[in-house]
Amino acid sequence: MKKFKTLILTMLGMLMCIPSFAQSSEIQWVEDLKQMDSSQLTLLVIVGIILGVILILLVLMVYLMTFMSAVFKKQNPELADQPSWWDEFKLKHITGKLKPVGSKEEQDLQLDHSYDGIVELDNHMPPWLANVFFLTIAFAVVYFTYYSVLGLGKSQIEEYQEELRVASIQIEAYKALAVSSIDENTVVFDATRESLTVGKKIYDSNCAACHASDGGGGVGPNLTDEYWIHGGSIEDIFSVVKYGVVEKGMIPWQDQLSPEEMQQVSSYIMTLTNTTPANPKEPQGDKYEPTIEQPIDTLTEEELGVEEAQ
């Protein structure tokens, strides 16, 4: 009974150590556990309790079998000399039959090696070690056949290439999601040549008719000076492009341009500031003074022409 109590206390101590181990561990299952919602955690706790009850019942069954075996041996003295099932299992699968120390059988196994009185016996391998050795041989045969002979499994290089393929798909999906979520609150000035080149194409196709190809203005206001009617930040320009100014004749472009395209044309419009158009229209609105200086990589017409040709 004391052994049973000790076993139960040991199991409870191990269960109490699990939370502290989880707090200091960085393995993946701990991270997955932290991301579970309340319903998943509740289900996991219920499954854990059920498994714990099953384990306790198994321990009780083993204890009862041991107790009943001891009772039967007391009632039947002839059974006392018979080995228990655990002794038979240990003899057959774990330790094997050991030779008595100092017996003739042990002396027959003694080799001619003696080092400071220490002798060596030619014992057979323990059954558990021999079984592990046989299992490794069987595993090696199956592994070699599966990967090398039949070619069903992927090599390390193939697994690496597959991981790269999956990662590239995830990156493209992330980029598509990030681009589609651009609005007047998340828009940023994109000064890359690719973005400004696309922005110029969109401007020439849709905006030049009202604002002139060089941004000097026509029906619409001048985009090259420091005066803006609705604000000169990237957020303000994007908002005007997206929603338009219907009362002044500018249509909203959110149904014809993607969020990325509206960001690109808005970024290009910002590069027109402080340029010199052929026939600039008089300033309109209020002077815009940016609170944070934005680096604008203005491209020349020649550079944009090269980009378009490419």
E strands, the chain, where?
Answer: 110-115, 118-121, 227-228, 286-287
Residues of the chain with pLDDT under 50: 1-9, 15, 17-26, 295-298, 306-310
In this predicted model, what pLDDT tens digit does every residue of 72-117 receive, in sequence order? 777 776 666 666 667 777 777 777 766 555 556 656 666 666 667 7
Cα–Cα distance for residue pair 170/176, rounded to 1 Å: 10
pLDDT score, position 77? 67
> pTM, whole model, 2 decimals?
0.46
pLDDT score, position 37? 78
Helix residue spans in 25-155 (DSSP H): 28-34, 38-75, 85-89, 104-109, 127-144
Cα–Cα distance for residue pair 220/284, rounded to 1 Å: 10
pLDDT score, position 24? 43
pLDDT score, position 310? 35
pLDDT score, position 71? 74
